[in-house]
Chains A and B, each alone.
Chain A
Amino acid sequence: MSGKKAMSAENGKMDLSGVTIEDGKVAITEYLSIDLDKETWHCRRCDQNLGSARGPYKEALVVYEREPSEIHDPVIDPEKYAFTYAPDPDWCRIIEYYCPQCATQVEVEYLPPGHPLTLNDLVLDIDSLKARHAGGEA
């Protein structure tokens, strides 16, 4: 087998070398981390507390509905053509989620108008996460 093994065959310890730890918090995505002691989500840019890590971080964010053609410019004249390279606003809207403190754009969703927001897009097993970072098997 080529490549590095994910776990050492010698001691059975899980390889966690790829995990980023910042100020004691585990980086979970580009913009989210978890404080395992306090069990809280945080913004990785400004450290804003984004609520319980056992709940959805999105509830702590602020949200904006974007007209899709503001991002995806109609390349060809919408007066002349029905299809223009811009999404059809009757079919598609852009939902932007910002950190309430530093305004970093944490997530973007493309949804049909009125479609339920994906609140629970990331639900982690916090007990398991704590156990693995405490050195135990999870």
Chain B
Amino acid sequence: MTNAKAPSERSLIEQFLDDNVLFLGPDPQIMADHSVSTPTAVELAAVDAWQDRSDEVHLIRNRLQTACNESFDMVEQMGAAPGAKWGDLIAGIFSSQGDLALSSAGGVLIFSVLAQHPVKFALKYWKDEPTVGINDGDIFMHNDARYGNIHNTDQSLTLPVFHNGEIVCFVGSIVHEGENGACEPGGMPGGAESPYDEGLKMPPLKVGENFEFRKDLLTFLQNSVREPKLQMEGMKSKLHACLRIKKRAEEVIRDYGIEAFMATIRGTLTDTEAEVRRRLQTWPNGKVLTNVFADSTLRENVLIKIRCEVSKQNDELIIDLRGSSPEFLNRANNTVLASMKGMLAQLFLMFIWPDLPRNQAVFAPITVLTDPGSALNCSPEAPNAQSMMTFFPAFTAVQNAVPKLLFAAGFRSTDIVACWYNMITTFVYGGFNQHQEFVGNVCADLNGMGGAARATRDGEHSVAPIFASMADIGEQELIEEEVPMMKLVPHKVMVDNCGFGKQRGGHGYQQIVTHKDTDAWGYMVNSIGAKFPSTYGIFGGYAPGCYPLCKVKDVNVFDVMKDSRDLMRFTIEDIMNEQPFPDATYSAHHAGLQFELAEQGELYMITQGGGGGYGDVLERDPADIAKDWADGIVSKKTIETIYFVVMDYNTGALNKEATEAARAAERKARLARAKPYKEFAAEWTKDKPPANVPYYGSWDDPTVLYLGTPDKTCPADAIEPVMMPDPKDVEIAALKAELKALKA
């Protein structure tokens, strides 16, 4: 039997298949390609005509940039979702082919490389589709990460802009809206076991015509989520922000002509890519290898390896993540490859070249290699609502690697930065609020992560998340008007909560939260790093530590403290160690909490992570230690056993001679306890992962992946998806075994 077909027969089959597409899914070509589209003849002619008028192009670009920033502000002011109000969004302008050319300076820059895919899908599949089409006044929306963006809690809205009957650009806005009807409230279900648990999933969808939403589709969307008012309000605010950018774009076309507009949009993309290539050229050619370990799927602790080799050759950068963990087919921590690329692009937009325009061309000279079916390039049937739990560690791997090439670069536009704290340690909430409305969303505290140390200064405390350079943590008083949560300790910096080093990381803060005035309220927490630090230092600097979720249950602190206010403690350390509330239950967990109903007055406590340290702790200026002591952010133990500084703790006076002696003694001690590399490596290195740790990913050979035990492997190019047992089944089995042993 042969599969060979005559040309005419093959053509017939292809024609039949083309005419009978039963199902449109994400377009593999669109999703795999992050390069800038080939310029059209019209664009090339426009760029050519305006190449000697750079001053005017610059002016036009700034007008359009201002329009993006203006629309960003509009969404921030009008939006109802916490993500909108506190800056988890962008607004931007796309080329006529769907490439994002300019976007707002603040907000979630990760979107800058992710927004293009749904626009390109609409152009490819809807433009000439008689039942859809793309016409002036059409409104398109999308939220399924398999078609672009990060996860389906983010909703994008785009409008085509026409001139003389032709599409000349698209304008769009993307917002972390929150609630999306998933199996858990709030939009980021860590408990999702399939894509169908993750709630509303819109492929690129025409939701309106003539600049108005279709009432039937709006009704469908509102009925798909737990916060129908929020859904409508989010759509309206994005629409009107887009209309403002559209208006500004049309003003530019009116003032300068369509050719100037096209030259600016295309030229911005072309110039950005060319400038990135010029900058990469100044980095030394070479390779950097780093390994990062995520310690949880959010439901159970497992060790998930992210292997990262960064190669730079002339004006190209290759990020090779092959050898990383296989996907978890019934856990939400997998990422679509395009989503991860957006996250990696964020590194360059925010930490390496923040002076460049926020557009997708920044990432065009960068190639990303992954194993298909890995957690970093998951299949369509793998849930991805918590893709951050693998693409944040992938970001950290690259952030950890790049300084080793950037340090000796001829051109830098930033300081050398260690690893920023990479988690979203905050509460997701759900339930009936004090106004008897069902709500579900995320607290904006996720925007307050500890900044990393830099070559020339300490990291800043609770400054920004890794995915948004300019965002806000929200106003507590405003938040308490909307939800019944009360932060008994809202934002208290914690002692020693940073990566130590010559320059230390910024500290994160601790939060102690409870709620009142509702009998139906619950919490989720979505962070890894309770057993293995998620973030690292560079050049000899240490990582920050680990971060558990702590609870005080079986108590209503409002009742208990009614006549005994002195029971309250204002740090997690004091509450957990002193256990001041009688008869309460105190517990500590990893920080992957699926939605859990809580009683009024119970305490849930989390800690934002600190930034990674930079350089050797013994080189830290003792004066900086004295300042940290005065600020109450470093302990005596750390001063004495890590920094080896001698000081008077009452006056803050440093003893320079004693410090030098203590540090000299420590240097001697280092040499006494350390071993030559080869001797150490021979004793340390094992052939396989430890049997007592569920380990996923490569060990020494990146082509072989371990699947949870030292004896089970698969080839990296033929990955077996991992199916995890329900943690409750695991616990029941353990309890049964315990019971059986007791009965025996």
Give chain A's interface residues, CB within 8 Å of chain B.
1-7, 14-19, 26-31, 58-65, 70-73, 75-77, 80-88, 90-92, 94-98, 100, 102-125, 128-129, 132, 138
Contact = CB atoms under 8 A, between A and B. Distances in A.
Interface of B: 271-272, 275, 278-279, 281-282, 284-291, 293, 295, 301, 303, 313, 355-357, 403-404, 407-413, 416, 455, 494, 496, 500, 502, 530-533, 536-550, 572-573, 576-577, 586-590, 607, 614-619, 635, 637-638, 641-642, 666-668, 670-671, 673-678, 680-681, 684-686, 689-690, 692-693, 695, 699-700
B410 A17 contact: yes
A105 B289 contact: no
Nearest to A88: B531
A83 B590 contact: yes
Contacts of A84: 546, 548, 588
Contacts of B588: 76, 81-84
Nearest to B683: A65
Nearest to B589: A83
A50 to B, nearest CB: 10
A119 to B, nearest CB: 8
Given A18-B412, A75-B573, A104 B616 contact: yes
A125 B282 contact: no
22 contacts: A1-B272, A1-B357, A2-B355, A3-B356, A5-B278, A15-B410, A16-B282, A19-B410, A31-B615, A62-B674, A76-B573, A85-B546, A86-B545, A97-B677, A98-B674, A105-B618, A108-B536, A116-B699, A118-B290, A119-B681, A121-B404, A129-B284
Contacts of B403: 29
The SS class assigned to the A binding surface is loop
A38 to B, nearest CB: 17
B411 A91 contact: no
Given A28-B407, A73-B496, A81-B587, A14 B282 contact: yes
Contacts of A61: 677
A84 B386 CA distance: 24
Nearest to B500: A71
A102 B667 contact: yes
A64 B536 CA distance: 18
Given A83-B588, A87-B531, A87-B532, A98 B671 contact: yes
B289 A30 contact: no
A118 B289 contact: yes
Given A61-B677, A85-B546, A116-B700, A105 B670 contact: yes
B576 A17 contact: no
Nearest to B614: A30
B376 to A, nearest CB: 19
Contact of A81 (B412, B576, B674, B695): B576
Given A29-B404, A30-B407, A31-B540, A71 B671 contact: no
A113 B690 contact: yes
Contacts of B572: 75-76
Nearest to B267: A1
A64 B549 CA distance: 31
A106 B671 CA distance: 13
